[in-house]
Amino acid sequence: MYAAELVGVTKRFGPVLANDGIDLAVARGEVHAVVGENGAGKSTLMSILYGLHRPDAGEVRRDGNRIVLRSPTDAIRHGLGMVHQRFRLFPGLTVAENIVIGAEPVRNGRLDRAAANEAVAALSERYGLRADPSALVGGLPVGVRQRVEILRALYRDAEVLILDEPTAVLTPGETDRLFEVLRTVAATGVSILLVTHKLSEVLAVGDRVTVLRQGRVTGRFTASETDADELVNAMIGRSLTPPVPRRARPPVGDPLLEVRDLTVRDADGVARLSEVSFAVRPGEIVGLAGVAGSGQRELVDSVTGLRGAVPGVFLAGTPVLAGRDPRVAYVPEDRHGRATAPEMSVAENVLMGAQRDLASRWTLPRARVRARARDLVDRFSISAASVDTPIGALSGGNAQKAVLARELTRPSTVVVAEEPTQGVDVGVRERVHALLRTARDEGAAILLQSSELSELRDLADRILVLYEGRVIAEFPGDATETELGRAMTGATG
Amino acid sequence: MSAPALTRRVIASAPVVALVGALGLTTLVMLVVGVDPTLAYPALVRGAVLDGNLEYTIAAFVPTLGMALAFALPLRAGEFNLGGDGQLAMGGVTAAALALLVPLPPGVAVVLPLAAGAVAGGLVAVVAAPLSTRLGIPAIVSTLLISAPAVSLASYLVRFPLAEPNTGIAQTPPLPEAAHLPALGGSGYLTIGLPLIAVLTALWLYADGRTVLGYEIRATGQNREFARYGGVKVDRVAALALAGGGAFAGLAGALIVLGPPHRFVDGALTAPGYTFTAVAAVLLASARPVVVPLTVALLTFLQVGGQGMEREAGVPSQLTQIVQGLIIVIVAVLATLRARRPR
């Protein structure tokens, strides 16, 4: 008997068949990975299991019995728990308060804080998830916040725990700790459904793997008996092309981007960047590594002009312009917050920055805007129902391709890419990398910030490591992950 | 899209649901307080469009549409302009002052006060922009707070410096003949204000959908960080949108004053509640600018008809305010539900 089962689940959204007769069974105490490209139907399937969507056909079973889930409340009552990609925590409340919310121990009509702290402490102890019950969530690192989310689900007696892309927000070290936690929790008999697109994680922590493609199951594997190639085949229906060999010719010419002694202070006068200097030449990709919050955001905002005319940043020898320097193409990390306006159409999203070039005097002919968008959609193989579709309705990978289409067709010589493949599947990742390589070969100077070391190693000619606002090390593109990882924690030499 | 599908979409759209819901609830209220809906509704229709009332409804439609644009234009840039009353009153008093104090040749005597009213309204509104960008005070708060003193200032000007001498009534003397809005019909209620506001509405719709500025305003309203990242000067765009909204309000004030009874009567601009009828109309149109003139027409109809209903059926005209309030509540509920629905 399985802890949780989805049997013949079909779900249709308008013309899109998101799930097509999917069977998925999770045994007690198993870590079951669900992988697939963006748009493969993973999120829909998990939403059905968590009561956010009702399936059009098929059913959900717990311990062999059919259950009907009308809402997440039903799901919780049936022992299902979910840790969302974006945490749903109250930063102003303590760890214990966040965990007991919805099922608080009450004494005399008031929250029994002592009992809550005690219950949470016992829970942390039992599952080996260390977290101080009285600490404020707002002050905790991301990895610990995630642990609070997991504890909250366990507090509500979850026997099946769904984690949606849990490592997207974690550093490599935090990821390792999360995997230890997952193993410990699974060992107590809790079943874990791990939704991810990172194959290394699947192989590292999964017991079994279900692969989805275009709403169907295309493979079921035992993690210990499969490898990345086999999974990729099932995920995208073909093998990945082998990595392009690094170009031998060293980049030549005057730097297109030069940063000299750049120091940036925040509103409180604290230095977020200190005396940063580097240069990027035409045809060169310089990687930027570092744990989150080491000054990446400030550096990128300085280079793009979004921080104003910061002294010390030069584009082709002249100072950066305030606002948004048009000489820089910029692919931001925050896809819905900065890179797109989710409710505007694809056409109007890819228009941004080119609106004045497309206009005749004041007017902006719609036909011209849409024709240009259709051209970009074709050239960058973005799958969208139409260019009038809101960009927020596209899958993450397609939205990202649209952002790249817009930025890489700007008349810019410098490209700044922040986490360009975050939250996209392997197929799109391959495509994004090819686009960046093409831009490089055409003579662009590229600054690539990524928290995925393998991505930096695949693409960058040189890798700079930021630590507490300083460039503390520079490596050639083929540096090992160990070397880079050490430098990221501040260990020099 | 097939015709039945389109019909279904229209029926399920927020404005229709809100309107039907609001009318349904209002009917319920009528029944509860003992009013016969079969008497009240015909009285409402008569009050709005029959018995020669249509002209009066159109006369009320013009400033309401102006105030709707005053709210809708900044809203496109993500700014809530709730200070319509102040902008309206300052626009009206400026127009009145100019017409009374400066002798102007025919033609100019109409155009200049209208323009000055628009500028005055724009200036009152644009104060909110630096307060928001420099000090972080949201426009929704500052416009509302600035409105009350602006209304009071206009009231002071009408009661003292501009007051009609020796009458003791809080109003200006009648404006010179040259400053009267040319009438379109016999009664004088129908003036060139109607075609003027219609043309301006069309211009706004065109600018919103098909110009660079319109695009940048919408991008700013949809996601300010996205617009800033794209190189749009968002602070300037937001200020421009607020000023434009204020200008529409100021113009609406000037149109009222230059129309019958051709003077600024204290309270006559703000008492009919054009500003918040307009806010309700814009919210009812729920982010579809083309629909705004229709929703304005509808709410003006209810507003004016409500007065007829009060006269004939003895139903307090406050009932139409209940309809408006319910519309806003239902639109808000629908918007929240839509935002919550997972994709």
Q: Count other Cβ atoms within 10 Å, centred on residue B136.
A: 7
Q: Which of B213, B228, B231 minimises the CB distance to A326?
A: B231
Of the candidates A428, A432, A430, A434, the residue with the CA atom closest to the CA atom of residue A418: A432
Which of A411, A428, A449 delimits the end of a domain?
A411
A59 - beta bridge partners? A7
Q: Assign residue A105 the CATH number of its domain.
A: 3.40.50.300
Of the candidates B118, B73, B67, the residue with the CA atom closest to the CA atom of residue B296: B67
Show residues of chain B in contact with A324, CB under 8 Å.
Answer: 228-231
Of the candidates A138, A153, A151, the residue with the CA atom closest to the CA atom of residue A90: A138
Of the candidates A464, A412, A443, A460, the residue with the CA atom closest to the CA atom of residue A254: A443
Rounded to whole angstroms, the Cα distance separating A231 from A365 reads 47
- Given a cut of 90, whether residue A454 has pLDDT beyond it is no
Rounded to whole angstroms, the Cα distance separating B325 from B316 reads 15
The tens digit of pLDDT for each residue in A285-325 reads: 999 998 777 899 999 999 999 999 999 999 999 999 998 99
Show residues of chain B in contact with A352, CB under 8 Å.
Answer: 219, 226-227, 230-232
Query: Between these two residues, A427 and B195, which has the higher pLDDT value?
Result: B195
CA distances in angstroms from A232 to A104, A152, B127, listed in the order given: 45, 34, 58
The predicted pLDDT at position A22 comes to 94
Rounded to whole angstroms, the Cα distance separating A37 from A423 reads 10
Topology classification of domain B12-340: ABC transporter involved in vitamin B12 uptake, BtuC (1.10.3470)
The tens digit of pLDDT for each residue in A239-256 reads: 655 555 556 556 778 999
A50 touches chain B (CB under 8 A): no
- Are residues A314 and A167 part of one domain? no
- Are residues A278 and A220 part of one domain? no
Rounded to whole angstroms, the Cα distance separating B53 from B45 reads 10
The mean pLDDT of A136-148, rounded to a whole number, is 85
- What tokens were used for A428? 């799109």
- Whether residues B210 and A341 touch (CB distance < 8 A) is answered with no
- Whether residues B218 and A343 touch (CB distance < 8 A) is answered with no
Of the candidates A183, A211, A217, the residue with the CA atom closest to the CA atom of residue A197: A211
Rounded to whole angstroms, the Cα distance separating A160 from A79 reads 6
Q: Give the count of alpha carbons within 13 A of A402, CB side only.
A: 35
The predicted pLDDT at position A247 comes to 60
DSSP state of A88: -
The predicted pLDDT at position B36 comes to 86
Q: How far is B225 from chain A (nearest CA, A)?
A: 5
- Are residues A406 and A395 part of one domain? yes
- Which residue in chain B has the smallest CA separation from A369? B210
Rounded to whole angstroms, the Cα distance separating A82 from A98 reads 15
Block residue for tokens 């030499």: A493
Query: Between these two residues, A236 and A50, which has the higher pLDDT value?
Result: A50
- Whether residues B210 and A366 touch (CB distance < 8 A) is answered with yes
Rounded to whole angstroms, the Cα distance separating A79 from A153 reads 9
The predicted pLDDT at position B251 comes to 98
A334, A364, A407: best to mutate for the B interface, most B CBs within 10 A: A364
A253 touches chain B (CB under 8 A): no
ipTM: 0.86
The tens digit of pLDDT for each residue in B173-194 reads: 999 999 999 988 777 788 999 9
Q: How far is A158 from chain B (nearest CA, A)?
A: 23
pLDDT band of A424, cuts 50, 70, 90 = confident
- What tokens were used for B78? 């993500």
- Given a cut of 90, whether residue B87 has pLDDT beyond it is yes
Q: Which of A148-157, A283-292, A306-315, A483-492 has the lowest mean pLDDT?
A: A483-492
Rounded to whole angstroms, the Cα distance separating A327 from A317 reads 12
- What tokens were used for A359? 């206009």
- Which residue in chain A has the smallest CA separation from B339? A343
B129 Cβ contact list (under 8 Å, min separation 6): B139, B235, B238, B239, B242, B243
The mean pLDDT of B74-84, rounded to a whole number, is 96
Q: Which of B213, B223, B231 minimises the CB distance to A341?
A: B223
A416 - beta bridge partners? A330, A447
How much of chain B exceeds pLDDT 70, in percent?
A: 95
The predicted pLDDT at position B342 comes to 47
Any domain includes A255: yes
Q: Which of B209, B212, B231 minimises the CB distance to A324?
A: B231
Rounded to whole angstroms, the Cα distance separating B262 from B256 reads 8
- Largest Cα separation within chain A, whole Å, is 75
Provide residues of B within 8 Å CB-CB of chain A.
Answer: 209-216, 218-219, 222-223, 225-233, 342-343
Rounded to whole angstroms, the Cα distance separating B79 from B248 reads 15
- Given a cut of 70, whether residue A13 has pLDDT beyond it is yes
Q: How far is B211 from chain A (nearest CA, A)?
A: 4
Beta strand spans in A14-56 (E): 16-26, 31-36
How much of chain B exceeds pLDDT 90, in percent?
A: 61
- Which residue in chain A has the smallest CA separation from B227? A352
Show residues of chain B in contact with A353, CB under 8 Å.
Answer: 230-231
Q: How far is A341 from chain B (nearest CA, A)?
A: 5
The answer to whether the CB of A296 falls within 8 A of the CB of A314 is no
The predicted pLDDT at position A428 comes to 87
A316 CB burial (10 A radius; 0-12, 13-18, 19+): middle
Determine the Cα angle at B221 with ends B216 and B226, to 5°: 70
- Given a cut of 90, whether residue B23 has pLDDT beyond it is no
A88 touches chain B (CB under 8 A): no
- Given a cut of 80, whether residue A86 has pLDDT beyond it is no
A53 touches chain B (CB under 8 A): yes
- Are residues A208 and A294 part of one domain? no
The answer to whether the CB of A440 falls within 8 A of the CB of A283 is yes
Show residues of chain B in contact with A351, CB under 8 Å.
Answer: 215
- Given a cut of 60, whether residue A443 has pLDDT beyond it is yes
- What tokens were used for B73? 């234009």
The tens digit of pLDDT for each residue in B257-300 reads: 999 889 999 999 998 889 989 998 998 887 789 999 999 998 89
The mean pLDDT of B304-323, rounded to a whole number, is 81
pLDDT band of A467, cuts 50, 70, 90 = confident
The tens digit of pLDDT for each residue in B107-158 reads: 999 999 999 999 999 999 999 999 998 998 999 999 999 999 999 999 999 9
Determine the Cα angle at A92 with ends A89 and A95, to 5°: 60
Any domain includes A333: no
The tens digit of pLDDT for each residue in B199-208 reads: 999 999 999 9
- Given a cut of 90, whether residue B215 has pLDDT beyond it is yes
- Whether residues B226 and A352 touch (CB distance < 8 A) is answered with yes
The predicted pLDDT at position A403 comes to 96
- A126-140, A313-327, B13-27: range with highest mean pLDDT: A313-327
DSSP line for A119-130? HHHHHHHHHT--
The predicted pLDDT at position B79 comes to 95
pLDDT band of B3, cuts 50, 70, 90 = low
A303, A306, A352, A372: best to mutate for the B interface, most B CBs within 10 A: A352
DSSP state of A250: P
CA distances in angstroms from A14 to A88, A219, A395, listed in the order given: 29, 26, 15
The parent domain of residue A281 ranges over 243-327+412-493
A332 touches chain B (CB under 8 A): yes
The tens digit of pLDDT for each residue in A360-416 reads: 888 999 999 999 999 999 999 998 889 999 999 888 889 999 999 999 999 999 999
Rounded to whole angstroms, the Cα distance separating B191 from B186 reads 10
- Given a cut of 90, whether residue A263 has pLDDT beyond it is yes
Q: Count other Cβ atoms within 10 Å, centred on residue A252.
A: 9
Show residues of chain B in contact with A334, CB under 8 Å.
Answer: 225
- What tokens were used for A333? 């990390």
DSSP state of A363: B
Show residues of chain B in contact with A363, CB under 8 Å.
Answer: 210-212
- Which residue in chain A has the smallest CA separation from B221? A341
- Break chain B into its structural domains and give their ranges: 12-340
- Record the pTM: 0.76
- Given a cut of 70, whether residue B162 has pLDDT beyond it is yes
Rounded to whole angstroms, the Cα distance separating A331 from A353 reads 13
DSSP state of B173: P
The predicted pLDDT at position A246 comes to 59
Of the candidates A273, A242, A259, the residue with the CA atom closest to the CA atom of residue A313: A259
- Are residues A460 and A437 part of one domain? yes
For residue A107, give the 3-state DSSP assignment.
strand
Which of A236, A258, A277 delimits the end of a domain?
A236
A47, A53, A343, A355: best to mutate for the B interface, most B CBs within 10 A: A355
Determine the Cα angle at B276 with ends B271 and B280, to 5°: 145
Q: Which of B213, B218, B231 minimises the CB distance to A323?
A: B231
Q: Give the count of alpha carbons within 13 A of B316, CB side only.
A: 10
Any domain includes A17: yes
The predicted pLDDT at position A241 comes to 59
Rounded to whole angstroms, the Cα distance separating B114 from B120 reads 10
CA distances in angstroms from A406 to A335, A344, A351, listed in the order given: 13, 15, 7
- Whether residues B219 and A393 touch (CB distance < 8 A) is answered with no
Query: Between these two residues, A285 and B337, which has the higher pLDDT value?
Result: A285
- What tokens were used for A334? 């925050």
- Are residues A424 and A388 part of one domain? no
Rounded to whole angstroms, the Cα distance separating B79 from B72 reads 9
Rounded to whole angstroms, the Cα distance separating A297 from B113 reads 51
The predicted pLDDT at position A175 comes to 84
- Are residues A370 and A452 part of one domain? no
- Given a cut of 70, whether residue B91 has pLDDT beyond it is yes
Q: Is the dihedral of CA A80, A83, A85, A86 positive or negative?
A: positive
Any domain includes A279: yes
Per-residue b/e over B210-243, b at no fewer than 16 CB within 10 Å? bbbbbbbbbbbbbbbbbbbbbbbebbebbbbbbb
For residue A248, give the 3-state DSSP assignment.
coil
The tens digit of pLDDT for each residue in A179-196 reads: 998 999 999 999 999 998
Q: Count other Cβ atoms within 10 Å, centred on residue B306.
A: 25
- Given a cut of 90, whether residue B32 has pLDDT beyond it is no
Rounded to whole angstroms, the Cα distance separating A235 from A213 reads 6
Q: Give the count of alpha carbons within 13 A of B261, CB side only.
A: 9
- Whether residues B215 and A393 touch (CB distance < 8 A) is answered with no
Q: Which of A339, A340, A355 minimises the CB distance to B215?
A: A355
- Are residues A400 and A345 part of one domain? yes
- Are residues A158 and A43 part of one domain? yes
Any domain includes A254: yes
Q: Mean pLDDT, chain A, as a whole number?
A: 89
The predicted pLDDT at position B343 comes to 41
- Are residues A407 and A465 part of one domain? no
A60 - beta bridge partners? A6, A67
Which of A217, A236, A255 delimits the end of a domain?
A236
Any domain includes A282: yes
A323 touches chain B (CB under 8 A): yes
B76, B218, B225, B236: best to mutate for the A interface, most A CBs within 10 A: B225
- Are residues A267 and A144 part of one domain? no
A353 touches chain B (CB under 8 A): yes
- Whether residues A366 and B209 touch (CB distance < 8 A) is answered with yes
- Given a cut of 80, whether residue A197 has pLDDT beyond it is no
The answer to whether the CB of B100 falls within 8 A of the CB of B175 is yes
Q: Which of A71-85, B27-41, B325-339 has the lowest mean pLDDT?
A: B325-339
- Which residue in chain A has the smallest CA separation from B231? A324
- Whether residues A362 and B212 touch (CB distance < 8 A) is answered with yes
User: How many Cβ pairs closer than 8 A exist between chain A and B?
Assistant: 70
The mean pLDDT of A143-150, rounded to a whole number, is 88
Q: How many domains does chain A have?
A: 3
- Whether residues B229 and A339 touch (CB distance < 8 A) is answered with yes
Beta strand spans in chain B (E): none
Q: How far is B177 from chain A (nearest CA, A)?
A: 39
Can you give the length of chain A in residues?
A: 493
Can you give the length of chain B in residues?
A: 343
Of the candidates B308, B251, B309, B282, the residue with the CA atom closest to the CA atom of residue B38: B309
- Whether residues B219 and A344 touch (CB distance < 8 A) is answered with yes
Q: At what angle do helices B54-76 and B292-313 cross, to 10 degrees?
A: 140
